[in-house]
Amino acid sequence: MTTIETESRYRSGVESQRDVVIVRGQGARLWDDAGREYIDCVGGHGTANVGHCHPTVVEAIRRQAGTLIICPTVFGNDVRARLLERLVSLAPGNMGRAYLGNSGTEAVEAALKFARLSTGRPGIVAAKGSFHGRSMGALSATWEPKYRRPYEPLVPGFQHVAYNDLAAMDEAIGEDTAAVILEVVQGEGGVNIGDGDYLCAVQDLCRERGALLIVDEVQTGFGRTGRMFACEHHGLEPDLMPVAKSIAGGVPMGACLIGPRVENLQPGLHGTTFGGNPLACAAALATLDVLEAEDLPAEAERKGRWVIERLRAIDSRLIREVRGLGLMIGIDLRKRVTPYLKALADEGVMALPAGSTVLRLLPPLVISDEDLATVCDAVERVLTA
Ligand SMILES: Cc1ncc(COP(=O)(O)O)c(C=O)c1O
């Protein structure tokens, strides 16, 4: 049996899979099992900001794997302590603590639970078009009906309002609202850019009414949008900030950063066995070193500006709009995106969808200018063919 046949026979079947077997990655390049090379604009769904197998991250993982892999939080650990201190030093505002988990979903789940703990209120307001993960709590905050419906009833107390609509948010935040959860740029929902005035006004409404603001930076964090965190574009100071994806260079990790207004976090109220394991913490420390040493948030801003301008110059009736912030870029098409992803792969470029019509590019931030030009040329050929 081929690799794809073996996977299709034995995997659960709940994930969709393309007919390509990837066996190696380096920087912004991937190789399949036939030795074919691709420029990677999937970026491990936005986890590969420092590039695949960055030597600094690989070396840190190697070293830590020979020292200590697992250490539950019931014990202290030197590497975990260093990472917590480092994360807090990078976070916007006065976020002084962090909870460590293993994925974006877990980071969101922690934020939702901490908001209820802190306020004693049940309500969560989320936005239409949002994606926050697929566990029962995170899924309750996610908008997409096709992900939600098969699992209903979901967690009570959640409602969704139109994104970038301040009047709708004003109406939704009440005395029973524990938190509002928003993305600065909606990723899975179609690369929808949050309006800065709207986001700041929502923060003010939360403060006025005793609700907490959760900004989900799982996809936007760690340089993706041209700042270390997308909150920095607008001076936002969230109370809870879930992060994950590229935090540890591709090793599974998530974290929920916690601001000073969050209360009542007592021992025993939440936890997970693998969260804060030294192997992932070492990978994360090395990833943060690379992000800073190579100034990757600034690189994302410079490269993203060039790519967006280049894509906007493509003359194609298929393109409705090109949107983006940093290297989080969406090309909204007038048709379903799937055949164009396949055509791009045939051109040697891997990209991903966002919703049903948006072609999304999430390349590693280390991608070269030359590779970006090749990607844009391929997109132009595919969308004007
Ligand atoms: C904004 C956002 N939040 C949460 C998640 C869930 O993260 P994970 O897939 O690591 O559980 C994602 C995943 O794409 C995301 O984009």
User: What are 318-333's pLDDT values in tens digits?
Assistant: 999 999 999 999 999 9
Q: 104 in ligand 1 pocket by Cβ < 6 Å?
A: yes
**pLDDT band per the 50, 70, 90 thresholds, residue 48:** very high
Q: Per the omega criterion (within 30 degrees of 0), is the bond before 153 cis?
A: yes
Report the predicted TM-score, pTM, of the whole model to 2 decimal places: 0.98
Q: 132 in ligand 1 pocket by Cβ < 6 Å?
A: yes
Q: What is the pLDDT of residue 54?
A: 98
Q: What is the pLDDT of residue 201?
A: 98
The three-state secondary structure class of 132 is: coil
For residue 205 the two structure tokens come to 């409404």
For the segment 129-156, the average pLDDT, to the nearest whole number, is 98
Q: Which 8-state DSSP code applies to residue 194?
A: P
Q: What is the pLDDT of residue 331?
A: 98
Q: 216 in ligand 1 pocket by Cβ < 6 Å?
A: yes
Q: 43 in ligand 1 pocket by Cβ < 6 Å?
A: no
Angle at 271 between CA 267 and CA 275, to 5 degrees: 130
Half-sphere exposure of 105 (CA within 13 A, CB side): 11
Give, in order, the Cα–Cα distances in Å from 218 to each of 145, 194, 229, 246.
21, 15, 10, 8
**pLDDT band per the 50, 70, 90 thresholds, residue 246:** very high
Q: How many angstroms is it from 9 CA to the middle of ligand 1? A: 27
What φ, ψ does residue 350 adopt, rounded to 5°? -95, 125
Q: What is the pLDDT of residue 367?
A: 98
Q: How many angstroms is it from 67 CA to the middle of ligand 1? A: 30
Q: 108 in ligand 1 pocket by Cβ < 6 Å?
A: yes
Closest atom of ligand 1 to 186 CA is 1
Mean pLDDT of the chain: 98
For the segment 259-266, the average pLDDT, to the nearest whole number, is 98
Q: What is the pLDDT of residue 82?
A: 98
For the segment 51-63, the average pLDDT, to the nearest whole number, is 98
